[in-house]
A and B are shown apart, each in its own frame.
Chain A
Amino acid sequence: MDLAPVLDGFSVVLEPTNLLYCLIGVVVGMLVGVLPGLGPAATIAILLPITLGLDAVTAVIMLAGIFYGAQYGGTITSVLLRLPGEASSVVTVFDGHALARQGKAGTALGIAAIGSFIGGTISIIALTFLAPLVASFAIDFGPPEYTALALVGILLVSTVSSGSRLKALVAAGVGLLLATVGRDMFTGGERFTFGNLNLADGLDFVPIAMGLFGLGEILYNLEERHTRVHAPAKVGNVWPSRADLKQSSGAIGRGSVLGFFLGILPGGGATLSSLAAYAFEKKRSKTPERFGRGAVEGVAAPESANNAAATSSFIPLLTLGIPANGTMAVILGALLLQGVPVGPGLVNQEPELFWGVVNSMYIGNILLLIMSIPLVGLFVRILRVRPAILAPITVLITLIGVYTVNNSVFDIVLVIVFGVLGYLMKKLGFDPGPLVLAFVLGSLLEDSLRRSLIIFDGDASQFFLRPISGTLLVIFLLVALVPPIRTAVTRRRTASADNRTKELV
C-alpha cells in the first residue's frame, strides 16, 4: 500500500481552515448530541447551504465532525438525565444512569469518552487499510453492478431502519419517484413537472433534506411536552479509576470491532451497533445480572461501538458512492452539490479529499476527548438552554438558509412542503431516512438500470449471470423475500396450533 497519499492527507487536515472547520464540526456535533431534539441528520441537512461556500474537503470535514461528535455528546444526557440525546446512546442509559445514581456519573462519562475515542480511532485505522481495497475491487463495476448495489443498499437501509419495514419501503419508493421529476436524462423529455418551470430541472436535494430531516423534526417535537430539565450542578471526577479501566478494556475492544463491522453494512450504523454491542457484552459476561445496575462494561461497549460504526459507515460512501444510512445520504448530497465525483475512483482521483476527510477524524476524536473529559462541565451547562428558544431560531435558519442556495423563493415553498411531509411521516410511522437515501440514489439507479437493459438487449436474466451483480441480486432477493415468508409460515403454524387446541377442547 502506498502511504504517500495518506501522509499528504495530514497536510490537508493541518491547514488552518480545515482545522477550524473540524473544530466547528465537532463542537456543533457535541452540542446537537447534548441537546435532545435535533439529531445529526437534521443538523447536517440544515447546514447544507453553508457548505456550498466552502471547499469540498472542508465541507465534508465539518459535516463528518458533526456526525461523530454527536455520538460523544449523546452520552452526556443519557448518563446524567436518563434522557438519550441521540438514538445511538439510548442503551447507555441502562448502566450509565445507574452509575450516575450511585454517584459515579464521572466514571460513566469518563469511560464513555475513552471508549468512544478508542472505538473511533481503531475504526479510522481499519478504514485506512480497508477503504482502498474496497475501492480497487469496485473500480471495474459497470451499470449492472451499480444497479444491483443501489438496490441492495436501499433495501437494506429500509429493512433495518426503525419502525415498520413496509412503511420504510414505501418511503424509499416515494424517494425514487421524486428523483424522476424533471428532465429525463436519456430523452430530454419532461416528467412529472405538471408544466411548472421550477420543476423542469428536477427537485433539488437541499430543500428535500432540510425539509424532511430539519423542519419535519422540529414540527414533530412541537407536540412533546418537555418536562423541565434540571441539569445537575456539577459532575465529579471524570477520570475513571484504574480498576474501572481494566474492567472495561475488553468491552471497549470488542465493542470497537463489532461496531466497525456493523457500521459498514448498509442500514447498520451507530444505533444498531450500540444495541448489538450491549447485548453481546451482557451475553458473554460471567455476571450478567450486574447489567442494568451500573456495570461499566454496559457503558463502555455501546459507546465504543457507536463511534466505531459512525466512522466505518463512511466506507461504503467514500469507496462505492452508496450511503449506509440517512445521515450518510445527506453527506453524499453535500458531495454531489460540490461536484465531487463520488464513487470507487474517489481514492485515486481525489486523494486529498479522501485522505483529508479520513485523517481529520483523528484530530476530531482528539478534540472530542478533550471536550468530553476536562470540559464536560461546560456542555452540561448547555442543557439549561430551553428548547422553546432554539426551535424558532432553527426554523428561521432553515427558511433563510434554503433561500440562499439558489436565491429562490420557490425553494422556501419546497422546504415547507417537505417539512410538513416529514412531520406527517414521522407522525404516521414512516422513517424519512429511506426516502432521502432513495432520492439521492434514484437517478444513479435509473441510469444504470436503463444502461444495463440496453447492454443486455432487454434480457434481464443477464443480471444474474455476471458474478458480482448476480451475487448482489441474490442477496437482494433473500433480504426482500425471506422475512415475509417466515412471518407467513409462523402465522400458519400458530393458526394450525390454535386449531389443534380447539379440537382438543
Chain B
Amino acid sequence: MTSGHGGANSPGSPGGSTAAGATPRGDVGPASPTGPVEPVPSSLHDLEEAVHQLEAEAEHRPPAAGRTTNLVVALVVVALGAAALVGAMSLGAGSASSPGSGTWPLLISVVLVLLGLGLVATVRGTVDAERFTRPSLMVLVGIATMIAFVALIGVIGFEIPAALLAFVWLRFLGQESWRSSIITSLAVVVAFYLVFVAALAVPIPHLF
C-alpha cells in the first residue's frame, strides 16, 4: 500500500471496529499460537491480525505506549486544530455564498478539533502508538547529524558534513567496524562528489 511497513506498529485492525476504541481487545498478542505450524486464519479480520503479528515478530518493535503518551498526542491534535482555527478566523471566515481565504482552513480546523477530541475520548483503547525506549535515542542522534549537515553545508560545503553523517550512522547507529565505517563514509562522499559535482554539475555548495 503506502509504505513497506506502514502497518507494522498497528496491532489494531484497520477499518471501523477499533476506530472508536469501543472494543479494546486485550488478547491481541497471545491469540495466535507460536508453534511450528503457521497460524491458519480464516476470515479477513483474523488474517489481518496474523499479518500484524508477523510483522511485529519480524521487526522487534518496542511495546505499546502508555496512556499519558496517547493523551498528549490527542491533546496536540486538539491544540493544532485550535491554533489553525484561530488563524483561519483572522484570515476572514467568509460566508457560504462568498467563501473567503479563511473558509476552507476554518472547516478543516473544526474537523481537526473534533477528531482530536475523538482521540482524547478513546485514549483508553488506543494500542497503536509505540513507547519511546532507549533505541529512540539513536533516532535523536540521527536527526542531530542531519541538522549539523544542513547547518554546515552553506559554510564549508557538503563534503565534510556528508562524511561525518555517514560515519556516525555507520559506526554508532549501524554498529559497523571502525575500519569499514571510515572506508565506506569516505567512499560514499567521493562517489557523491563524482556524481553531483563532476558529472551533473549541480550547484551544491562544495569545498573542493
A contacts, CB < 8 Å to B: 32, 36-42, 82-88, 90-91, 93-94, 97-98, 159-167, 169-170, 173-174, 176-177, 180, 184, 186-187, 189, 191-192, 213, 215, 217-220, 222-225, 227, 269-272, 275-276, 278-279, 282-283, 288-289, 291-293, 325-327, 386-389, 391-393, 395-396, 399-400, 403-404, 407, 409, 412-413, 416, 419-420, 423, 426-429, 431-433, 436, 446, 449-450, 453-454, 457-460, 482-484, 486-488, 490-491, 494
- Contact present for B14 and A165 (CB under 8 Å): yes
| B207 in the interface (beta carbon within 8 A) | no
Shortest distance in angstroms between B7's beta carbon and chain A's nearest beta carbon? 3
| Chain B positions within 8 Å of A272 at CB level | 1
Determine the chain A residues whose CB is within 8 A of the CB of B196 once the complex forms.
400, 404
Instruction: Write the residues of chain B forming the contact surface with A, with a CB cutoff of 8 angstroms.
Output: 1-7, 9-10, 12, 14-20, 22-23, 37-44, 47-48, 50-51, 54-55, 58-62, 65, 69, 73, 77, 80-81, 84, 87, 91, 95-105, 108-109, 111-112, 115-116, 118-119, 122, 126, 128-130, 132-133, 135-136, 138-139, 142-143, 146-147, 149-150, 153-154, 158, 162, 165-166, 169-170, 173-176, 184-185, 188, 192, 196, 200, 202-204
- C-alpha gap A93/B57 in the complex (Å): 13
In the bound complex, do residue A227 and residue B60 qualify as a contact, i.e. CB atoms below 8 Å apart?
yes
Structural contact, B5 and A491, CB atoms closer than 8 A: no
**Is the beta-carbon distance between B173 and A427 smaller than 8 angstroms?**
no
Q: Which 9 A-B pairs have the closest CB atoms?
A: A39-B4, A388-B174, A458-B97, A483-B16, A326-B2, A162-B7, A433-B2, A429-B128, A458-B96
In the complex, are the beta carbons of B17 and A487 less than 8 A apart?
yes
| Apart from the given pairs A88-B1, A395-B142, A487-B19, 15 other A-B contacts in the complex at a CB distance below 8 Å | A84-B54, A85-B4, A86-B4, A174-B80, A187-B101, A191-B91, A224-B60, A225-B60, A282-B42, A396-B188, A403-B202, A429-B128, A432-B2, A458-B95, A484-B16
Neighbour of B202 across the interface among A177, A187, A404, CB < 8 A: A404
Instruction: Give A104 to B174 CA distance when docked, in angstroms.
Output: 34
Residues from chain A with Cβ under 8 Å of B20 in the complex: 166, 484, 487-488, 491
Min CB gap B168→A, angstroms = 8
Partner of B51, one of A189, A270, A275: A275
Which of B43, B175, B204 is within 8 Å of A404, CB to CB? B204
Interchain CB contact under 8 A, B6 and A87? yes
Whether A412 and B37, one on each chain, are in contact in the complex, defined by CB atoms closer than 8 angstroms, is no
Pick the contact of A187 from B5, B100, B129 — CB < 8 Å? B100
Contact A400 to B2, CB < 8 A, known contacts A278-B47, A453-B97: no
- Can you identify 19 A-B contacts, CB atoms within 8 angstroms? A42-B3, A84-B54, A86-B4, A161-B14, A165-B15, A180-B105, A192-B84, A192-B87, A223-B135, A225-B60, A225-B135, A275-B48, A325-B1, A391-B169, A395-B169, A400-B204, A416-B146, A427-B132, A487-B17
Chain B residue at smallest Cβ distance from A218: B142
Contact present for A292 and B51 (CB under 8 Å): no
Assembly CA distance A93 to B47 (angstroms): 12
**Of A217, A219, A409, which one neighbours B153 at CB under 8 angstroms?**
A409
Task: Output the nearest chain A residue to B185 by Cβ-Cβ distance.
Answer: A392
With a cutoff of 8 Å between Cβ atoms, the chain B residues found around residue A454 in the complex are: 97-99
A192 CB, min distance to chain B CBs, angstroms = 6
| Complex CA distance for A137 and B99, rounded to whole angstroms | 29
Contact of B14 among A162, A279, A403, A420 (CB under 8 A): A162
List residues of chain B with CB within 8 A of the CB of A91.
47, 51
Contact A219 B139 (CB under 8 A): yes
Q: A83-B58, A163-B10, A419-B146 are in contact. Are A293 and B38 (CB under 8 A)?
A: yes
**Contact A292:B39 (CB < 8 A) given known A163-B10, A223-B139, A446-B104:** yes
Tell me which of A164, A327, A391 contacts B128 (CB under 8 A).
Answer: A164
Q: How far is B146's CA from A409's CA once the two chains are assembled, in angstroms?
A: 12
Whether B1 pairs with A433 at a CB distance below 8 angstroms is yes
User: A160, A326, A449, A491: which contacts B22 (Cβ < 8 A)?
Assistant: A491
Chain A residues positioned under 8 Å from B55 (CB to CB): 84, 87, 90
Docked pose: A297 CA to B100 CA in angstroms:
57
A163 touches which one: B7, B103, B109, B176 (CB < 8 A)?
B7
Contact B44 A279 (CB under 8 A): yes
The answer for the CA separation of A454 and B54 in the assembled complex, in Å, is 52
Are A161 and B61 within 8 A (Cβ)?
Answer: no
Cβ–Cβ contact A177 & B112, under 8 A: yes
On chain B, the residues within 8 Å of A222 by CB distance are 135, 138-139, 142, 173
CA distance A388 to B184 in the complex (A): 11
Q: Are B3 and A39 in contact (CB under 8 A)?
A: yes
Indicate which residue in B109, B136, B143, B153 contacts A177 across the interface (CB closer than 8 Å): B109
Given A276-B44, A450-B99: A423 and B139 interface contact (C-beta under 8 Å): yes
Query: Is B58 in contact with A82, judged by CB distance below 8 angstroms?
Result: yes
The winner among A85, A389, A454 for most chain B CB atoms within 10 A is A389
